[in-house]
Structure 1
Amino acid sequence: MRKRFLLIAGILLIGAVSLVACGKKSPSSPESEVTTEATESKDTEATTEDAQTTVATSETTEATTEPVDSGDVATKEDEEAKPETGTGTFNGWVDSGSVEVEMANGEYKTFFVYNEDVKKALNDKGEGSKITFTYGAKAGQANMQILSVK
């Protein structure tokens, strides 16, 4: 008798939960649009304040979130140009294929590292080390690549 009671109670519970879940109005139903409009009008002031905060916050990180301009992407001719020499402080790996370097002028730059010998040399020097390196463009990329480390 007890098993039968638990079975029936379980079925009723599952049925009730299913009805409650299916009975909710979807966001696209016409009845919910009236509620949404009322809620939106009440939250206008809060949304405006949030938007102002978001704008103020995004202004500080604007340089890192803007899309890359097609004029900033290296071409095959850029890749074939003579490499440049730079000095700076190796700040560490950004991911498995790129590093951050604080240049001698104080500017932070990210460089790709494709060569295994360069990766080993950077790991041997360690983060915070002063490095002198040659770098050049990589076709199709906005960031330069480190070609050698001294």
Structure 2
Amino acid sequence: MRKKFLLISTILVISASAALVACGKKSPSSPESSVSSDKTTQEETSKGQTVATTETKTEGTTEAVKKDDIATKQDEKAKPKEASGTFEGWADSSSVEIKMSDGEYQTFFVEKEEVKKALNEKGEGASISFTYGALEGQVNKQILSVK
């Protein structure tokens, strides 16, 4: 009886482990699986300063994110900035893509329910004016209000 219990318990543990491992894998077609590597390097600027950068290879492209681009607590407390652009749509449940007035596309976080509601009411393709600010630990900014 004890041997059967141990055998069944072992099979259950192995099955549960296999299921958890399988849940953690991303399919090759999922956007999350496209990140292949991150590499942090030191670069020297024209002024002789050394700046740390992180390169993220995604689907054959390389983006360099400088540590100076990541917002600090002081950046978060700074006065919000005003901007305008075209609301291109939701990137996911908490971020949007905006085509800025200069033609550049930027992704912004949206946390406030009233901002989410205002963007949904405006609809994709609408011209919007908005205020945004830094969010500590993030490169992307956060939309604080929509006009």
- Please give the TM-score of this superposition, normalised by the length of structure 2: 0.58
Given candidates 133, 138, 145, the residue that maps to 1:136 is 133
**SS of structure 1 residue aligned to 2:143:** strand
The within-5 A match list for 1:48-127 is 58=60, 61-63=61-63, 66=64, 68-127=65-124
- Quick one: which amino acid aligns to residue 122 of structure 1? L
Superposition CA RMSD, Å: 1.3
Shift of 1:69: 2.5
CA distance in structure 2 between the aligned counterparts of 1:75 and 1:125, rounded to whole angstroms: 31
* Structure 1 residues without counterparts, runs of 5 or longer: 1-56
CA distance in structure 2 between the aligned counterparts of 1:93 and 1:62, rounded to whole angstroms: 23
Query: What is the aligned length?
Result: 89
**Which is richer in helix?**
1
Higher Cα radius of gyration: 1
Residue identity (%)? 62
CA distance in structure 2 between the aligned counterparts of 1:62 and 1:123, rounded to whole angstroms: 32
Deviations, residues 6-49 of structure 1 (Å, cap 9, x unaligned): xxxxxxxxxxxxxxxxxxxxxxxxxxxxxxxxxxxxxxxxxxxx
* Structure 2 residues without counterparts, runs of 5 or longer: 1-58
**Which is richer in strand?**
2
The aligned counterpart of 1:39 is: none
Shift of 1:147: 0.2
After TM superposition, where is structure 1 displaced by more than 3 Å over at least 4 residues in a row? Answer: none
Higher relative contact order (CA 8 A, sep 6+): 1
Shift of 1:85: 0.3
- Quick one: which amino acid aligns to residue 149 of structure 1? V
CA distance in structure 1 between the aligned counterparts of 2:62 and 2:98, rounded to whole angstroms: 20
Shift of 1:62: 2.7
CA distance in structure 1 between the aligned counterparts of 2:101 and 2:66, rounded to whole angstroms: 26
CA distance in structure 2 between the aligned counterparts of 1:128 and 1:139, rounded to whole angstroms: 29
Shift of 1:71: 1.5
